[in-house]
Chain A
Amino acid sequence: MTVVLPLTLAAESLPERVGVQDTLEALTYAALDRLSGRLASHVRAAGVDCVAMLAQNSVAFPALFFGAAKAGVPFVPMNYRLTDAQLDRQAALLGRALLVTDPATAGRIAPREGLAIIDTRTLIEAVADLPLTDADPDPQSEACWLFTSGTTGEPKTALLSHANLTAYVFGTVDPLSATEDDAVLASVPPYHIAGLVGILSNVFAGRRVVFLDQFSAEHWVDRAASAKVTQAMVVPTMLGRILDVLAARDETLPHLRSLSYGGGRMPTDVIRAALERLPHVGFTNAYGLTETASTITLLSPADHREARLADTPEVRARLGSVGRPLPGIEIEIRKADDSPAAPTERGEIWVRGPQVSGAYRGKGPTLRDGWFNTRDEGWMDAAGYLFLAGRTDDVIVRGGENISPGEIEDTIIAMPEVADVAVVARPDREWGEVPVAFVVLRPGAALAAEAIRSRVRGALRSTRVPAEFLFVAALPYNETGKLLRAELRARLRSAA
């Protein structure tokens, strides 16, 4: 099965229904199908190895995603929030590529050999008279490349095949089941796996996708109300802000029926507040990774209601759970010695199933007997509900964005006054987690927090700037010289 099939089906069965729209235009499923077929002809003629996109959400996103698939090359959405230097390093990995930009990103990636850079509008006008290419690619071929930062901050390119991306959609979504009035608000950026899979499942369901070019809570609420949006997916940070706007405006979004969230730690008080403010909305918590083609576990609306009203602590606790595995997905919690953990016992979360890839460009297979190590810590309760305890590798997840402590530490340790540094996550109501730096100065040295802050901001980006700098005499290490990050995190928790 390939990502082309959902679009073919929607275009055949619901040709006149608006399939995708942004603030400037709307395309019916038939128009989206034709545009992607023309783009595919252009991609074929250009003879490139991939179609990269450095652009905000718009109708061009699904058109390019399906167009790349019809041309039989992977689609590579890039993160416009990275610095130009980081983007340039990623561009060097693309090989012969068509790189599509929008007015906000034009010029951010310098021309280089093999890279054909073109603006979205120019490209769409250029393909207007091209014939349609509607080939169905090999299901085992690569459908997309996604850059992930991983544990060391070294960019890795995760590979997902058509079979990986479509397993979840064909296994769980009812095709063409949406009505004319259904609409989903897509605000997750296109370089996020949930953005890609969301297009597939909503097109397969025949549901109109309304794109939000860039997220702000006010903008999201305006669009949800004016487009009569019936469902949406957000990361926890977005939800907290949306609730604030709803409360300030006394808005209830009467058309909204379901809201799913995922991509980071959801503070229990935020989800409780959401359930109270929007009693007519069904909430779904989804857990997944890039390497698993998004969702692998779900906490359903019924689970949320049950947990909220439960008398027993075990059931009440499930409001903080990511739910149970999807059909066809196996999950195991393994202890450090690789033995299976008992219920409620903590360990590393391993996953197996048809949507699990675990493949990276230029690297060998990472699966063990089909099992992928998520490098997330967690446990399962006796009823099979999964709870997350944090990243095995200490990645800080700030507002759905993975931040590697290593790159922040490297920047700070380069300052001559600094003897040692550790950056760890502190739980945060708004962001889920924020980085906090423990800094050890050299004897006799003086350095203000503001100086470190501006150094990190200059070298990296604003989300990498620690929320606080704590100056300490020494960092805790174990007998083998390994930094005890867990101890630092515990200090932050007890101080909170």
Chain B
Amino acid sequence: MAKPTPGLRLFSTQSGVELIVVKGADGVLTCAGAPMVTQRPAPPVADAGGAAQVQLTKRYADAQSGLLVLCTRAGSGPLALDGRELTMQASQALPSSD
């Protein structure tokens, strides 16, 4: 169980969800109820297909701690920090400047 620090890649043990931590925080980050891990599970996890889908390229945040994560592979969630469910951020919709 790793503290979510910026740049850390995290993998769900319950679904195919993969994340990058953009802004770190203290606490335990879970996906579908189980703590996320720093190594991709082998063999790949069969996705149980829960209701809460974590979406590719979306950012999820915890307002209380400031945690911000970026989804790099979609799958079933939900994501939570110390039991508080993360909320999906509205797209920044920035045009590319480079």
Interface residues in chain A, defined as those with a beta carbon under 8 Å from any beta carbon in chain B? 1-2, 5, 9, 13, 136, 139, 163, 166, 170-177, 184, 194, 197-198, 201-202, 205, 231, 233, 258, 260, 262, 282, 284, 286, 294-295, 298, 300-301, 326-327
**Known contacts A1-B7, A139-B6, A175-B72; A260/B98 CB under 8 A:** yes
Closest to B97 in A: A286
B95 adjacent to A284 (CB under 8 Å)? yes
For this complex, 21 residue pairs linking A to B, each with C-beta atoms less than 8 Å apart, are: A1-B20, A9-B20, A9-B72, A13-B72, A13-B73, A139-B7, A170-B20, A170-B70, A174-B91, A175-B57, A175-B70, A175-B72, A176-B56, A197-B98, A231-B96, A233-B98, A260-B95, A294-B97, A300-B94, A326-B94, A327-B94
- Tell me the chain B residues, 43-98 only, with Cβ under 8 Å from chain A: 56-57, 70, 72-73, 91-92, 94-98
Q: Which residue of A lies closest to B56 (CB)?
A: A176
**Most chain A beta-carbon neighbours within 10 Å: one of B56, B91, B94:** B94
Question: B28: CB under 8 A from chain A?
Answer: no
Collect the chain B residues with CB atoms within 8 Å of residue A197's CB: 98
Selected contact of A5 from candidates B7, B94, B96, B98, CB within 8 Å:
B7
CA distance A194 to B98 in the complex (A): 7
B22 at the interface (CB under 8 A from A): yes
Roughly how many angstroms separate A163 CA and B73 CA in the complex, as a whole number? 23
Compute how far the CA of A262 lies from the CA of B73 in the bound complex, rounded to whole angstroms.
Answer: 33
Nearest 8 CB-CB pairs, A to B? A286-B97, A198-B98, A1-B7, A174-B57, A295-B97, A284-B95, A172-B94, A260-B97
One of A5, A170, A294, A298 near B95 (C-beta < 8 A): A298
A-B contact count (CB 8 A): 73
Instruction: Assess whether B72 is in contact with A176, with CB atoms less than 8 Å apart.
Output: yes
A362 to B81, CA, bound (A): 42
- Which residues of the partner chain A approach B70 to less than 8 Å between Cβ atoms? 170, 175
For B22, the chain A residues whose CB sits under 8 A away are: 1, 170-171
Q: Are B7 and A2 in contact (CB under 8 A)?
A: yes
Complex Cα gap A205–B96 (Å): 10
A137 to chain B, nearest CB (A): 10
Residues of A within 8 A of B9 (CB): 5
Of B20, B57, B92, B97, which is within 8 A of A262 by CB? Answer: B97
Assembly CA distance A205 to B97 (angstroms): 13
Closest to A198 in B: B98
Question: Looking across the interface, which residue of chain B has its beta carbon closest to that of A284?
Answer: B95
Q: What is the CA–CA distance of A205 and B91 in the complex, to the nearest angstrom?
A: 15
Give Cα distance in the complex from A175 to B9, angstroms: 14
CB distance from B41 to the nearest CB of A (A): 15
Q: A175-B56, A260-B96 are in contact. List 10 more A-B contacts (CB 8 A).
A: A1-B6, A13-B73, A139-B6, A173-B96, A194-B98, A260-B95, A294-B98, A298-B94, A326-B94, A327-B92
Chain A residue numbers with a CB within 8 Å of B97 are 233, 260, 262, 284, 286, 294-295, 298
Least CB distance from A374 to B in Å reads 17
Cβ-defined contact, A282 with B20, below 8 A: no
Rounded to whole Å, the gap between the CB of B15 and the closest CB of chain A is 17
Q: How far is the CB of A2 from chain B (nearest CB, A)?
A: 6
